[in-house]
Amino acid sequence: MKHLSGKLRASEPAFCGGKLVGDPDFFRAAKHVVDWHGKDALAYATLRADRYLDDGDLAGSAVWRWISYAIEELHRERQDDEAMN
């Protein structure tokens, strides 16, 4: 999905490149967002990323994109061939 101004939305997969962030701070932040917003956590984080992007704050948008990605990772189910920690 594209933003009305032609910019990519935070939910666009190209932003994350399919890579997991190595920094645990994003996962801690994601956990806090989930604790506060419950089932609406991903929508909240995505909206924040989009607002920062709309304001031209690329760094702020990137942080919230990674938090959005971390929320998705926290909620996804383990794949059959994925190791369990």
Residue 5 lies in a domain: no
Residue 6 lies in a domain: no
Task: pLDDT tens for the chain, 85 residues: list them.
Answer: 334 444 544 444 334 444 444 578 888 999 999 999 999 999 999 999 999 999 999 888 988 999 999 999 888 877 677 666 6
Instruction: Provide the domain count of the chain.
Output: 1
User: In Å, how far are 28, 37, 60, 74 from 32, measured between CA atoms?
Assistant: 6, 8, 17, 12
Residue 14 lies in a domain: no
Would the pTM count as exceeding 0.75? no
Among candidate residues 21, 4, 2, 24, the one with its CA nearest the CA of residue 62:
21
Structure tokens at 12: 């666009």
Reported in sequence order, the residue ranges of 14-78 that DSSP labels E, i.e. its strands, are none
CA-CA distance, 16 to 27, in Å (whole number)?
A: 14
Residue 11 lies in a domain: no
Residue 39 lies in a domain: yes
